[in-house]
Amino acid sequence: MIDLRTCKKGDLLVSKHGSILEYVAPLPDGNLYDHEVMYPDGSGGTRLHDGYTFRNPERRLPTDHDIIAIIDNN
């Protein structure tokens, strides 16, 4: 089970499609999502504590880059 609360800035995140994203920071309470991540092209994204792109399982798509592994890069 993935828990992005264990991540530190710069940790690498492996998506279910094999992309390597970088952990940026936790988001403040009250945001729709829990964590900020950066894609290999430098664009930003967000994830939930469990690494999913969407909270509602019905909205999750096979193309989503849900996180399946954390690599400590510090």
| Chain segment 7-42, per-residue pLDDT in tens | 999 999 999 999 999 999 999 999 999 999 999 999
State residue 54 phi and psi, 5-degree precision.
-125, 140
What is the pLDDT at residue 48?
Answer: 96
What is the residue whose two structure tokens read 């930003």? 44
| Chain segment 35-59, per-residue pLDDT in tens | 999 999 999 999 999 999 988 888 9
Total tally of structural domains belonging to the chain: 1
Domain that holds residue 62: 4-71
User: Token pair for residue 64?
Assistant: 């989503």
Q: CA 24, CA 71: separation in Å to the nearest integer?
A: 13
What is the pLDDT at residue 20?
Answer: 97
What is the pLDDT at residue 22?
Answer: 97
Q: What is the pTM of this model?
A: 0.91
* Contact partners, residue 35, CB within 8 Å, separation at least 6: 4, 7, 23, 24, 25, 26, 27, 46, 47, 48, 49
